[in-house]
A and B are shown apart, each in its own frame.
Chain A
Amino acid sequence: MSIFHSEDLHVEDQNLTILFSGAPGTGKTTLGYSAEKSLLLNLDRGAHRVKPEHRDGKDTSVCSTFDEVKADVEYAKGKYKTIVIDTGGALVEMLKQYVIDHPQDFKGGAKAMGGISLQGYGFVKTLWNDFTRDLRQHFNVVYIFHEQAEKNGDDGTFYSIVVEGAAKNVVWQSADLAARLFISNGQRYLGFTPTDQYSAKSSFGISGLIQVPELKPGQPNDFLTKLFAKVRENLAKESSDLAPQKKQYEEAITMAKVICADVNAPEDVAEAAKAIKALNHALTSEKESTAMLKSRLAELGIIWDKTAKAYVYK
């Protein structure tokens, strides 16, 4: 049974996906290790730079091909709660090679002279979508990306994730939350609200700048564990705060449907409009109910006659 009524769906139990990018030395991999029960896929081979105490108790997988990545992810199912992809850019490179190495599965994916074709990039996007969909079903997912500075207008700089251009939009869609990790005045921050300097994605009550504290000796590396816990707390609160409004909304919409269905002639319209106005509205039910009535009138060919100041057939 996979169909739930909204009140039965515990959104706070769902797996979460976060994407963040940052310049070298901002502590991206260390932050990746802070996720709960994580397996870090060390695709960029940079995990050795993390202080041992900050990856204490966390496992690392070193993969060279997409086949190895798939095998490790399969192994991780049921054993880990979070998969950390370090980096997403390196994974895209592996997917490109995978397409090139499997010409029988991805016809036209490689150029005759070597390298990936335009069609091949299409296969990469599809592979990314399929792989990340599967990941998300079993784990929380953390995508780490390097960043690059691009010129933005005459005097600005825009920081974007390092990934082959064609895959960027698809990669971004995989994340619930996305942020830029940066250092300002000696403090590390994750910026979750998009600005004219970087892309970001805020949701579940997480937005703006969140400080990432410097880890002191002996301090547990658990920033993302706590952030995910906060997201779940926000989801649970939002869900319970909204529950009465949603119930009221559903009742109003149900009633509006009945009222609209009862409109069959111009003389029914005024009464229906009055009844819709009188409903106990919540969220956007009033505007939706009014739109519903207008749509019913269009169906019946009923219009408002300004001269007669009455509803009439067209």
Chain B
Amino acid sequence: MSTSKVRITQSLLSAWEWSFKIEDGWDDFLSTLNREKKQPTKAMLDGIRFENCLNGVLKGETIPEDHEWYIVITQMAKELDGSQQQVNLFQDCEVDGQPFLLHGVLDYLREGHIWDCKFSKTYHLNKYLASPQHPMYLALVPEARDFTYVISDGKYVYREKYLRDIVPPIEPTIKNFMDFCKKHGLWETYVEKWRVAN
């Protein structure tokens, strides 16, 4: 077994967890595992545009009242005002003797609270309950008290808030992922592509 330190992200864990749930999930997971550059989908581009618009407002830009997202962006900007944006974080972690480097970029961080902005036209209740993102990000910021997904479909704002004391630790998910990769002959690929340079 390799003891090289490997980087792990919530996107990789998400791709793995979705690999059996959706069509093309397996190919998408292999592509993420191999760190292949992907063409952004329309949904991804919409999400980027929405987030850029929100971040612009948070930096002091004005949004015209007739803008399609005026109401929701104004509402979200009020909640996220004063937060630090795009906080890039790393945290060491060891699972079964294997060193990992947790890596994530928090959308917003302020006063012990983490927020992640999602633009989703298909939001439904508890959409993110099983996501590895909030356990991963709460591990990246041990001093944070909660994690909130702040979601918009362009018309309304929804929130899913996860308090630290009800969020399971990320380590068991990483352990399952590690066991899966070994069982399916993907461990060497993972280590090769995600090894942390000294």
A residues bordering B, Cβ < 8 Å?
122, 125, 129, 160, 168-170, 172-173, 193-194, 196, 199, 201-203, 207-208, 246, 249, 283-284, 287-288, 291-292, 294-295
Contact = CB atoms under 8 A, between A and B. Distances in A.
Most chain-A CB neighbours within 10 Å: which of B89, B109, B125, B161? B125
A288 B125 contact: no
Contacts of A122: 155
Contact of B111 (A168, A169, A246, A291): A246
Nearest to B145: A283
Given A169-B123, A288-B84, A193 B166 contact: yes
A225 B124 CA distance: 31
Interface residues of B, number: 30
B158 A249 contact: no
A291 B88 CA distance: 8
Nearest to B144: A284
Nearest to A169: B158
A160 B125 contact: yes
A207 B156 contact: no
Contacts of A246: 111
21 contacts: A129-B156, A169-B123, A169-B158, A170-B156, A170-B158, A172-B125, A172-B158, A173-B156, A207-B166, A249-B111, A283-B112, A284-B111, A284-B113, A284-B141, A284-B143, A287-B84, A287-B143, A288-B84, A288-B87, A288-B109, A291-B109
Interface of chain A: mostly helix, strand, loop or mixed: helix
A294 B105 CA distance: 13
A168 B125 contact: yes
B161 A283 contact: no
Contacts of B129: 194, 196
Contact of B112 (A201, A207, A284, A291): A284
Contact of B159 (A168, A173, A199, A287): A173
A203 B146 CA distance: 10
Given A202-B163, A287-B84, A291-B86, 4 more contacts: A125-B156, A169-B158, A283-B112, A291-B85
Contact of A199 (B126, B143, B157): B126
Contact of A194 (B85, B112, B126, B156): B126
B110 A288 contact: yes
Contacts of B143: 283-284, 287
A152 to B, nearest CB: 11
Contacts of B165: 207
Contacts of A208: 166
A201 B161 contact: yes
B125 A203 contact: no
B163 to A, nearest CB: 6
Interface in B124-164: 124-126, 129-130, 141, 143-145, 155-159, 161, 163
Task: Rank and list the top 4 A-B pairs by shortest CB-CB distance, nearest first.
Answer: A283-B112, A291-B84, A291-B87, A288-B84
Contacts of B89: 287
Contacts of B124: 168-169
B94 to A, nearest CB: 21
Nearest to A129: B156
B46 to A, nearest CB: 18
Nearest to B124: A169
Interface string B80-95: 0000111111000000
Contacts of A169: 123-125, 156, 158
B135 to A, nearest CB: 14
Contact of A207 (B110, B111, B125, B163): B163
